Amino acid sequence: MKTDIRLPLGLPEFTVLKQEITENKVVIQVETVDPPERCPYCGFQELKKHDQRLRSVRDLPIHNRPVYLIIQLKRWHCTNCQEIFDEHLPSVPKSKHQTHRFRKYVFDMCHGVTISYVSRQVHLPYKTVERIYYDLAEQEINKVESSGCIGIDEIAVRKGHVYETVVTDLVSGQVHEMGANRDYESALDVMSTLCEQDIHLIVMDMWRPYYKAAQTLFPHATIVIDKYHVVQKVNQAFDVIRKSVSKELKGVKNGRFALLKRHFRLTDKQNKKLDEYHSQSEELAYAYYLKEWFYDLYEQHDSNQAETFLDTWIQAALQSPFKPFHDFSKTLVTWKTHILAYFRLPYTNARTEGTNHKIKNLKRRAYGYRNRERFRLRVKLECGCFQQDHSLLHFASA
Ligand SMILES: [Zn+2]
């Protein structure tokens, strides 16, 4: 079915010559309204039309039908410098087969869904959608305004200790940057993207390379050790002790759960079990008590109280017979200032954990990105600055 209804184009540089709307597409023949004012080479104003050819580009769909603009593209001849040039089209990027606005439309559509889904929706080859997405991605990643509080964390993206370093804004939760590995150089790379921003707080694990990189780039920022990482360390130390003690005891092997759980979360049955283990081994009871006691650190009201607590605990741990607690105490002494900094600036990397989850999902959705750079872009766009178009989210399962 053909119709003569004229649809507004909204591209002021063109005048519509002919429009053809059929069942499955819209073809619009256009030409530019104004000739070029000057020669782009010499600025001369006397130009002659040289020739004309047709150029077909995709534009925004109309009534769910793909739109093809057939542009009568003119070439001009400069009577001064003799150069021949194409007329400039503000709405079509050079040597591309789509208008700017159509490319942006395709790019926006890709948010939260797969490239192949969009490819089917817009009737474009997969490769084309992919190219549009990654062409625009770099442009769209405008620098995220930082709150000044960032978290740096590692995430295991594949089995076998393959890590990414992720820097997240602790207030907005957005990903600032992501880079391969978790060594000093990669941490420098990732964090140096924020050098122009006023970073005054950095939350991290007790991980030397991150610490060194943060100190190099932001010497005046306060470094806070993530509290969840600290308590994880005490649990790990206790677990080593538990394993060695329980070798000599009956039934304690299965008691891991009760022993590692916080005492107030235990069920009656687990409490009974715990009593049994403790009556069997004074050593285990001793270690368990030290571990549980350590958790009170984060119940302290200010950094002075916390410091007194920490000193007392470290003394007690050093007097205990447990090597893992001795080692942990040494770690605490090394990082003490930054552990205590939490009591002045109570920030954690808890939000980063959520983002890490999202990154892993992205990885899974794309069956693993073989191209690192593309993976990085996708993460920054999906977990970062790009404002999500929620209307598209229900397609996400596609
Ligand atoms: Zn010229």
Distance 52 CA to ligand 1 centre (A): 19
Q: How far apart are CA 25 and CA 53, in angstroms?
A: 22
Q: How far apart are CA 202 and CA 281, in angstroms?
A: 42
**Residue 304 buriedness (CB in 10 A; 0-12 / 13-18 / 19+):** exposed
Distance 51 CA to ligand 1 centre (A): 16
Q: What is the pLDDT of residue 301?
A: 93
Q: How far apart are CA 363 and CA 379, in angstroms?
A: 9
Q: How far apart are CA 109 and CA 391, in angstroms?
A: 10
Give the residue among 236, 237, 235, 207 at the shortest CA–CA distance from 223. 207
Distance 70 CA to ligand 1 centre (A): 28
Shared domain for 222 and 285, answered yes or no, is no
Q: How far apart are CA 88 and CA 41, in angstroms?
A: 13
Shared domain for 233 and 279, answered yes or no, is yes
Q: What is the pLDDT of residue 141?
A: 72
Under a CB-based contact definition with an 8 Å cutoff, are residues 80 and 36 in contact? Answer: no
Give the residue among 87, 68, 143 at the shortest CA–CA distance from 385. 143
Distance 194 CA to ligand 1 centre (A): 45
Q: Using CA atoms in the order 354, 355, 359, 364, what is the torsion angle rounded to 10 degrees?
A: 20
Q: What is the pLDDT of residue 120?
A: 94
Beta-bridge partner residues of 201? 149, 222
144 occurs within a structural domain? no
Distance 56 CA to ligand 1 centre (A): 27
Distance 42 CA to ligand 1 centre (A): 4
310 occurs within a structural domain? yes
Write b or e for each residue in 253-284: b if 16 or more Cβ atoms lie within 10 A of its Cβ, otherwise e.
eebeebbeeeeeebeeebeebbebbbebbebb
Shared domain for 250 and 185, answered yes or no, is no
Q: What is the pLDDT of residue 392?
A: 32
The answer for residues whose C-beta is within 8 angstroms of residue 127's C-beta and 6 or more apart is: none
Distance 33 CA to ligand 1 centre (A): 21
Q: H or E stretch including 143?
A: none
Distance 53 CA to ligand 1 centre (A): 21
Distance 46 CA to ligand 1 centre (A): 9
Between the alpha carbon of residue 297 and those of residues 21, 240, 290, the distances in Å are: 72, 21, 12
220 occurs within a structural domain? yes
Q: What is the pLDDT of residue 389?
A: 38
388 occurs within a structural domain? no
Domain endpoint, select from 33, 64, 97: 97
Distance 79 CA to ligand 1 centre (A): 7
**Residue 381 buriedness (CB in 10 A; 0-12 / 13-18 / 19+):** buried
Distance 73 CA to ligand 1 centre (A): 19
Range of the domain at 73: 1-97
Give the residue among 201, 191, 205 at the shortest CA–CA distance from 221. 201
Under a CB-based contact definition with an 8 Å cutoff, are residues 322 and 238 in contact? Answer: no
Distance 84 CA to ligand 1 centre (A): 8
Shared domain for 266 and 219, answered yes or no, is no
Shared domain for 280 and 195, answered yes or no, is no
Shared domain for 185 and 204, answered yes or no, is yes
Strands 149-158 and 162-169 come out as antiparallel
Which CATH number belongs to the domain containing residue 201 in this structure? 3.30.420.10
Q: What is the pLDDT of residue 388?
A: 41
108 occurs within a structural domain? no
Under a CB-based contact definition with an 8 Å cutoff, are residues 25 and 123 in contact? Answer: no
Distance 86 CA to ligand 1 centre (A): 13
Q: How far apart are CA 313 and CA 319, in angstroms?
A: 10
Question: Counting every residue, how long is the chain?
Answer: 398
Instruction: Give the count of domains, the chain.
Output: 3
Q: What is the pLDDT of residue 143?
A: 53
Distance 32 CA to ligand 1 centre (A): 20
Shared domain for 282 and 314, answered yes or no, is yes
Distance 45 CA to ligand 1 centre (A): 8
Q: How far apart are CA 229 and CA 359, in angstroms?
A: 20
Distance 252 CA to ligand 1 centre (A): 89
Shared domain for 79 and 33, answered yes or no, is yes
Distance 249 CA to ligand 1 centre (A): 93
Distance 47 CA to ligand 1 centre (A): 8
Distance 77 CA to ligand 1 centre (A): 8
Shared domain for 246 and 271, answered yes or no, is yes
Distance 57 CA to ligand 1 centre (A): 28
Taking the CA atoms of 208, 213, 214 and 218 in sequence, report the sign of the dihedral they define.
Answer: positive
122 occurs within a structural domain? no
Shared domain for 85 and 31, answered yes or no, is yes
**pTM of the entire predicted model:** 0.67
Q: What is the pLDDT of residue 144?
A: 60
Distance 48 CA to ligand 1 centre (A): 11
Distance 50 CA to ligand 1 centre (A): 13
Shared domain for 277 and 235, answered yes or no, is yes
Shared domain for 281 and 320, answered yes or no, is yes
Between the alpha carbon of residue 226 and those of residues 20, 219, 245, 307, the distances in Å are: 63, 19, 30, 16
Distance 94 CA to ligand 1 centre (A): 20
Q: At what angle do helices 268-280 and 282-294 cross, to 10 degrees?
A: 130
Per-residue pLDDT of the chain (398 residues; tens, 9 = 90+): 445 555 678 888 899 999 998 889 999 999 998 889 899 899 899 999 999 999 999 999 988 899 999 999 999 999 999 999 999 898 999 889 999 999 999 999 988 888 999 999 999 999 999 999 988 887 777 656 788 999 999 888 776 667 889 998 888 888 888 888 899 999 999 999 888 888 999 999 999 999 999 999 999 999 999 999 999 999 999 999 988 887 777 655 556 667 777 777 888 887 777 777 777 778 888 999 999 999 999 999 999 999 999 999 999 999 999 999 999 999 999 999 999 999 999 999 887 777 878 888 777 766 556 677 778 888 887 776 544 433 333 333 22
38 occurs within a structural domain? yes
395 occurs within a structural domain? no
Under a CB-based contact definition with an 8 Å cutoff, are residues 205 and 331 in contact? Answer: no
Q: What is the pLDDT of residue 6?
A: 59
